[in-house]
Copies of this chain bind each other. A is one copy, B any other.
């Protein structure tokens, strides 16, 4: 049994982190709360004190992953300038991510696969994440001087999504690099 939290309030963090890892590895429905609690060394009531339900835990886990992703993404493209350079830096960021040994695909894609109902809280979290990511691409595309920046952004977004999916499913770790190459062609044609 893992040592119990030495500080108050650590349990919640431990819970979310453990859940995040297990959901990522095995999926949401496949992982029961008993397994999360066992792995985290915590008890049932600890979970239900902090969260109303397993679903609430999932939503919070996705929120944490979303925040971490945004921060990592922002840091990765911070060095680049605006416009074209920033767009290309995004593909570098995706490549760096997909090459991490811990990369197991987008947790949001997995969540979307398991929770397809439009009004489901989990699906809403997925859509919010996707909308933000597309917004980032659109913002950078707008500063690239492209004739039709929204069209360019939409095309590049498809490349990003495709690269992440291909890297996750087939394990193709060079997908992001090839997506970048395609992006360079699309950007050049869009100016």
Contacts and interface: CB of A to CB of B under 8 A. Distances in A.
Interface of A: 25-27, 29-30, 104-105, 109-110, 112-116, 118, 126-127, 130-131, 151, 154-155, 157-163, 165-166, 168-171, 175, 178-179, 181-182, 185-186, 188-189
Taking chain A's interface residues, is the majority helix, strand, or loop, or is none over half, making it mixed? helix
Given A127-B170, A159-B158, A189-B189, A109 B165 contact: yes
A124 to B, nearest CB: 12
Contacts of A186: 182, 185-186
A161 B157 contact: no
A162 B169 contact: no
Contacts of A169: 109, 112, 126-127, 130
Given A130-B170, A182-B182, 10 more contacts: A27-B114, A29-B30, A105-B116, A109-B113, A110-B113, A113-B113, A131-B170, A154-B178, A155-B181, A162-B162
Given A158-B163, A159-B158, A162-B160, A112 B181 contact: no
Contacts of A171: 118
Contacts of A162: 157-163, 165
A160 B105 CA distance: 18
Contacts of A165: 109, 161-162, 165
A182 B161 contact: no
Nearest to A171: B118
6 contacts: A25-B116, A130-B170, A131-B170, A158-B179, A159-B159, A165-B165
